[in-house]
Structure 1
Amino acid sequence: MFDSVGWGEILVLIVAGLFILGPERLPAAAAWLGKTIRQVREYATGAKDQLRNELGPEFDELRKPLEDLRGLRNFNPRTAVRRSLFDDGDLFGAKPNGHAPGANSGSVTAQPHPAAAPQPEKLAPNERPPIDPDAT
């Protein structure tokens, strides 16, 4: 609950409460606030447990989309692209490059593609590369 509130903000709230309520009423107000937060947490936990008991296994099906949405909060496009390109957990079994997760890597040997273009020769130092007018 206090993930976004730092110690500086808490200190400012305590000082403001000290000026507003005074030193004699501040401890009672803090105790009331703590008791109220604890009670709200108990209500939320009780409601969640009651839903889990009433819905049974369907409760987990309800939670999955919510957890997916929570995961989008920390969405990083670079990580998503890396995961989709290089992880073996593909949904459809085989990746576009032909790699199938769980396949025995020892049984498949890499063979060059018959229509593969020959590798271009390396350029000498200070040599200008050839220009392809169709590509520019």
Structure 2
Amino acid sequence: MFDSVGWGEILVIIVAGLFILGPERLPEAAAWAAKSVRKVREFATGAKEQLREEMGPEFEQLRKPLEDLRGLRNFDPKRVVTQHLFDGDADPLGLGNINGTNGSNGAAKPNGYPATSAPQTQPEPLKPGERPPIDPDAT
């Protein structure tokens, strides 16, 4: 129930309760809150057991979709898209080695492109006053 509440939040609630209720009434309020939470849990457990008794085997069929929905809490769209697009490949671009070969003796990278036999070199920087090349199709 308190999975997402950390110790910092609990401390803030206690300090706020101490200021609002005062030190005399705070233990009574904490006991009342604990009893209320305990009753709610008992009601939920009782309702679950009653539903299980009345529905019988169909209760498990009802629980399956609910558990699937609960699994969506940890849903990570980036991980799912990466798995779908790259079939779970940890290095989809084949950039594992610096020289571009993937240890496959130049056959092919995991993405289907042929592996390069030599490292790619950067073009020379432009000299002062030199204009960069223009690609008319790109502009």
Category of TM-score, reference length = shorter chain: 0.5 to 0.7
Whole-Å separation in 2 of the counterparts to 1:38 and 1:125: 67
TM-score, normalised on structure 1?
0.59
Gaps of 5+ in 2: 89-113, 121-139
1:91-120 CA distances to partner (integer Å, 9 max, x unpaired)?
Answer: xxxxxxxxxxxxxxxxxxxxxxxxxxxxx8
1:75 CA drift (Å): 1.6
Percent of aligned pairs with the same amino acid: 73
Q: Secondary structure at the match of 1:3?
A: coil
Shift of 1:70: 1.0
- CA 1:47 to 1:121, structure 2 compared with 1: closer, same or farther past 3 Å? closer
Instruction: Assess, with a 3 A threshold, how the Cα gap between structure 1 residues 123 and 4 changes in structure 2: closer, same or farther.
Output: closer
Summarize the Cα distance change of 1:123–1:55 in structure 2 as closer, same or farther, 3 Å threshold. same
Aligned to 1:68: 68
- Look up the SS of the partner of 2:49 in the other structure: helix
For 2:115 and 2:71, the matched residues in 1 are separated by 48
**Distance change in 2, residues 1:12/1:125 (3 Å):** closer
TM-score by length of 2: 0.57
Partner residue, 1:27: 27
Report the alpha carbon displacement of residue 79 of structure 1 after superposing the two structures with TM: 5.3
**1:52-63 maps to which residues of 2 (within 5 A)?**
52-63=52-63
Q: CA deviation at 1:4?
A: 1.1
More displaced stretch, 15-24 vs 42-51: 15-24
Residue aligning to 2:39: 39
| SS of equivalent to 2:23 | coil
Q: 1:23 to 1:61 in 2, by over 3 A?
A: same
User: Which is bigger in relative contact order (C-alpha 8 A, separation at least 6)?
Assistant: 2
Q: CA deviation at 1:53?
A: 0.3
What is the distance in 2 between the residues matched to 1:32 and 1:18? 15
| Per-residue CA distance 1:2-52 (angstroms, 9 max, x = gap) | 111111111111111111111111101100100010000000000000000
How many aligned positions are there? Answer: 94
CA RMSD of the aligned region, Å?
Answer: 2.9
1-structure distance, mates of 2:26, 2:115: 81
